[in-house]
Structure 1
Amino acid sequence: MIAIHGSYYNNNFGDLLLIKLVENWVKSKVNSTIVYPMVDKQEQKEFKEHFPNSFIGIKQRETWQALVCTGGGYLGEPNWSHGKKLGGKWNKQFFRRHVLPAEICIWSNTPYAIVGVEAGPLSNIFVRHEVKRILSHASVLSVRNIESKKFIQDTLGIDSEVIVAPDAALTISKEDIPTTALNYVDSLLAPYQGMISLGIHYPSRFLCDTPQAELLRQGLFSTLASTPDVLPVVFSDCGSNNVPSDTEKLAKIIHNSTGKECLSLPFKGIWETAALISKLSAILTTKLHVGIVAYALGVHCESFATHQKTPRFYKQIGRASQCIMLDDISDKNIVIEKIERALQAARNQVSPINCQEYEQVKQNSLIHKQLVLNFLNSTIQN
């Protein structure tokens, strides 16, 4: 039995995609049952929709042959938790969600790999101590950017080998997306052929009652009102697909403010979201992995980031200008400029795939896959 752990909470596309990719890598190498140790009870039904044949829980921990911890940002605190040296919601959540799988392996001398994670910053002294312990005992350790490596080696003082490679989600290609998911998206967009489909992602951020969210809305409405060839496509990548979402709210506001028809697409599934991203002309997002997958699939993306991990990615791929921290937006013209750049790239069919660094970034991201395969080869007897 192989255990896979990640940040599989709130039905979140990016984290679920990373888990799905690692699951596929594991299945390609060994014929073993896969278990997910820490899925919350209230989220197990939706998790099973994405991973229908999975086992959940730690009851069979004595049969674990190995553990693979997938990528994600769960070894670094979000901006809003920075400075909380004692207590704090995120710090408590970290201990509840992410400690037990690795500790079980440490106690039982079961090998484990940590692949493609983001590490740091960490303010809480207890979280920092535990992360250092978990990282120090890993058989394999890779991170998705140089900042994480520096945090591990310089701040935590770990002298283990730390391999750096771009986010594992960059390994995705259009060939990975099931035909059923592509056909589903094609059917949604078919009535709008010839239009520029502008993805507007993570509507919750656009609906916040903050000065920056108001500037986002103003810039968006102003641009859409003057571009009759653009179809706004509001979509979400997390949460329950059975509950009315902020996608509907934002779509209605866009329609009422601009008079434009607007598609509203709540989260349906991992592959449906990947298929949608691949079919859009351009994307605006406040989150990380929609931008990563967009780049991997050749779609221009403009980022309004809310987490320090996001600008790290755009810097890594040589596209730092496409990402700005949301809190740094002080004028709606900044928003308008970014949206117009995305639309221009779409109209001119300018794709990241045609850039010199694209193939190298994609190739380097496969290092995480090879590390997983080598780890399993060295630890598992089929």
Structure 2
Amino acid sequence: MMKKIILHGATNCGSSNFGDFLYGVAVYNYIKENYKDIEVGFYNPSEYFIKYIGDCKISLSKSDMLIYIPGGYFGQSHKSRFIDNAIQFVRFMPVGIKAIFKSIKIGVIGIGAGPIISPFLKYPIKMIGNKAEMISTRDNESYNALKSLGLDNILELSDLILALNIHNLSDTTDQVVDICKKCEGRKLLFVHYNHSLLARDIFARQLDTFVEENPEYQLVVGSDCLLSYDDEYYIEFSKRVKKNCIQFNYDSPFELIALLERVDAVLTCKLHVGVVATMLNKPVVCFAEHPEKTKRYYRQINQPDRCVSLYDTSEEEMLSILKDKIFEKSFVPDEEIDKAKRNFDVLNELINKK
């Protein structure tokens, strides 16, 4: 039986991202709760992870297995540049390469992959994948991207977050209660442009029209990670939308879940705010900043019309989608939830493999 397992994903380099935290805490807690004799931790976790999980850093050299946890980092971002791919390599690949040279076992669960064109990513992903004892992916496109590199021992599953009891992670804070009070009975529309200036400005134009026609909606604006310029973006958004807005100041991922439980609809440009909102059966519209990976999810849950590219869609079409889908509840098929849960079967098999 293994004694130490080290986890790695989008958990380093100052990460405070909502979705990446949920991935990390899900795998970490599962191992802690089900394997009492195994020490588990992260490779260079951010201060944010340490704040909400505790002292969770362990050494690679003293570990028996490296597990790459879910995330979309086995691939390139939208129209990635040379520098983007180089940063992606530095952040995710060296720990796997070190594990290979130290003869440390490797497993990969719930990974998002592709496109994989840059040599900075193609060759190390293939190298790590060839040494991995098992790999599970979160969608068909990721499965095909890894198969195209000649990798075997891959299971096509679903997004691990779908396997969570999301209500058990909710934390209703004073901020959430105050926001609900300020809404004064109006419907709450959560607006999530995050760090994207393009999304902020497009959302402002869309919502200025939408709220004029639907005054029963109150706009609540928030991020899903810590941003130094969050207040600045919010002030400019409020000016452009010309409507009374309420700001949600992101800090705790558990608090954001509590807010999403209470909203009536969500407009986002990112993946995992939308994923959690669909788990809660909220109406969701996504104008995707990372369309390659985000559109996959909505196809997977049989609701592709909820998500279009932020870059290749006219604002007229966006407004039409917003008006059509923001009143219609979303859902996640049971089949996808069952596939998501099988990621934990893969994790168990990796841990118990001799």
Higher mean Cα deviation, 215-224 or 281-290? 215-224
Give aligned-pair identity as a percent: 24
Q: CA deviation at 1:250?
A: 4.6
Aligned to 1:4: 7
Instruction: Quickly say closer, same or farther: Cα 1:129–1:259, change in 2 above 3 A.
Output: closer
Match of 2:181 in 1: 190
CA contact (8 A) 2:8 2:69 kept: yes
Structure 2 residues without counterparts, runs of 5 or longer = none
Q: Which residue identity does 1:166 align to in structure 2?
A: S
- Cα offset, 1:214, TM superposition: 4.5
TM-score (normalizing by structure 2): 0.90
Cross-structure match for 1:273: 256
Paired with 2:244 and 2:344, the residues of 1 have a C-alpha distance of: 42
Map 1:76-155; keep pairs closer than 5 Å: 76-81=75-80, 88-153=82-147, 155=148
Cα-to-partner distance string for 1:198-249 (whole Å, 9 max, x where unaligned): 01102432x33xxx76443322211122322111011101125xx4x33x34
Residue 258 of structure 1 and its aligned partner are, at CA, apart by 5.2
Q: Work out whether residues 234 and 250 of structure 1, in 8 Å CA contact, stay in contact via their aligned partners in 2.
A: no
| Alpha-carbon distance, 1:293 to partner | 1.2
After superposition, residues 293-304 of structure 1 pair within 5 angstroms as 293-304=276-287
The residue identity in structure 1 corresponding to 2:79 is W
Letter in 1 for 2:6: A
After superposition, give the CA deviation of every residue in 1:302-327 in whole Å (9 maximum; x if it has no partner).
01012201111111110100011011
Name the counterpart of 1:181: 172
TM-score, L = length of structure 1: 0.84
Q: How does 1:54-69 map to 2 (within 5 A)?
A: 54-56=56-58, 60-69=59-68
Aligned partners of 1:114 and 1:140 also within 8 Å = yes
- Aligned positions, number: 347
Give the conservation status (yes or no) of the 8 Å contact 1:287–1:310: yes
- 5 Å-filtered alignment, 1:155-170, equals 155-158=148-151, 160-170=152-162
Relative contact order, higher structure (CA 8 A, sep 6+):
1
Identify the residue that residue 69 of structure 2 maps to in structure 1. Answer: 70
Q: Which residue of 2 aligns with 1:51?
A: 53
Code of the residue aligned with 2:183 in structure 1: it is Y
Aligned to 1:318: 302
Structure 1's 257 and 99: CA in aligned 2 closer, same or farther, altered over 3 A? closer
Contact 1:171–1:296 (CA under 8 A) maintained in structure 2: no
Q: Contact 1:66–1:111 (CA<8 Å) still a contact in 2? A: yes
Hey, what does 1:34 align to over in structure 2? 40
After superposition, the Cα gap between the structure-2 partners of 1:128 and 1:254, relative to the gap in structure 1 and judged at 3 Å, is: closer
Identify if the C-alpha distance between structure 1 residues 270 and 216 changes in structure 2 by more than 3 Å, giving closer, same or farther: closer
Matched, 1:360 2:328: no
When residues 65 and 259 of structure 1 are mapped into structure 2, their CA distance, relative to the original with a 3 A threshold, is same
CA contact (8 A) 2:208 2:243 kept: no
Q: Which amino acid aligns with 2:338?
A: Q
User: CA distance change for structure 1 residues 239 and 80 in 2, over 3 Å: closer, same or farther?
Assistant: farther
Report the CA distance shift for 1:203/1:66 in structure 2 as closer, same or farther (over 3 A).
Answer: closer
Alignment partner of 1:67: what SS? strand
SS for the counterpart of 1:341 is helix
Q: Which has the larger displacement, 44-53 or 361-370?
A: 44-53
How far apart are residue 15 of structure 1 and its match? 1.1
- 8 Å contact kept, 1:215–1:335: no
Question: What is the root-mean-square deviation of aligned Cα atoms in Å?
Answer: 2.2
Give deviations 1:142-168, integer Å, cap 9, x for gaps. Answer: 011111111211x2122x121111111
Tell me: CA distance 1:55–1:213, structure 2 relative to 1, closer, same or farther (3 Å): closer
